[in-house]
A = this chain, B = another copy of it.
Amino acid sequence: MARLSREESRARTREQLLASAARAFARAGYGGASVDEIAEDAGFSKGAFYSNFASKEAIFLALLEQKKRGEIAAIRSLLAEPDTDALMRGLRAWLDAAHDDPALSLLAAEIELQARRSESLAAGYRALQERLSTELVGFIAAVFGRLGLRPPAPVADIAATFIAISNGAAMATDPGANQSGRLMQLFLDMVLKASRPADAGDSDG
């Protein structure tokens, strides 16, 4: 194996700490996870942690960024699909898969809650969330366009509902049965069923 350059080694440490933090936060929550535990689980000391992240909140925020980035990338890659049927299949598959990891979903919920309670966290969070939301709105609009349907409600609201279901379902009673994907598909179906052809005009009746 090639010797890692100093920069590479640092990046690697960072990745390992992030992965360890994701596990810890998902399992124990923001307050319940300790910096010590995160560092140790990644195979480092507390000192190493603080060499890589300014604070516990900082790694939390970094985690959030990582996650949102991933979701945005997924949305973009879906849109790149030229065939609309394939796009819809891909969408359904993603809804299932993306939220397959209950730990990850819980982490999302944790992040959202925590962001409401720390000004500094919220500041960093807002921008990312905005970007995801914008991306999702654009995506939904595009999908309706490609399906030739008129959205039955403001696209921004539809997007918000998807996000709400995603966050809310992760917290449902039964930890085993991850409903997130299923409920989002259900909502997708409702929305599609409630839609009318785009060329049907504006009138409802």
Interface string of A95-120 (1 = CB under 8 A from B): 00000000000100110111011000
Given contacts A28-B117, A164-B164, A179-B164, contact A112 B193 (CB under 8 A): no
Cβ-closest chain B residue relative to A161: B183
Q: In the complex, which residues of chain B have a beta carbon less than 8 angstroms from the beta carbon of A191?
A: 190
Interface residues of A in 162-201 (CB under 8 A from B): 163-169, 171-173, 175, 179, 182-183, 186-187, 189-191, 193-194
How long is the Cα–Cα vector from A28 to B31 in the complex, in angstroms?
A: 11
Q: In the complex, which residues of chain B have a beta carbon less than 8 angstroms from the beta carbon of A130?
A: 173
Q: Across the interface, do A168 and B179 meet the contact criterion of CB distance under 8 Å?
A: no
Q: Across the interface, do A32 and B106 meet the contact criterion of CB distance under 8 Å?
A: no
How long is the Cα–Cα vector from A194 to B188 in the complex, in angstroms?
A: 11
CB distance from A82 to the nearest CB of B (A): 28
CB distance from A103 to the nearest CB of B (A): 10
Q: Is A39 an interface residue (CB 8 A)?
A: no
Q: Across the interface, do B182 and A172 meet the contact criterion of CB distance under 8 Å?
A: no
Closest 7 CB pairs of A and B: A168-B168, A31-B31, A164-B168, A193-B194, A167-B168, A112-B171, A190-B190
26 residue pairs from A and B, CB less than 8 Å apart: A29-B31, A31-B31, A32-B117, A106-B113, A109-B113, A109-B171, A110-B113, A112-B171, A112-B173, A116-B175, A130-B173, A152-B190, A152-B193, A160-B169, A161-B165, A161-B169, A164-B168, A164-B169, A164-B171, A164-B183, A165-B168, A166-B168, A168-B169, A190-B190, A190-B191, A193-B193
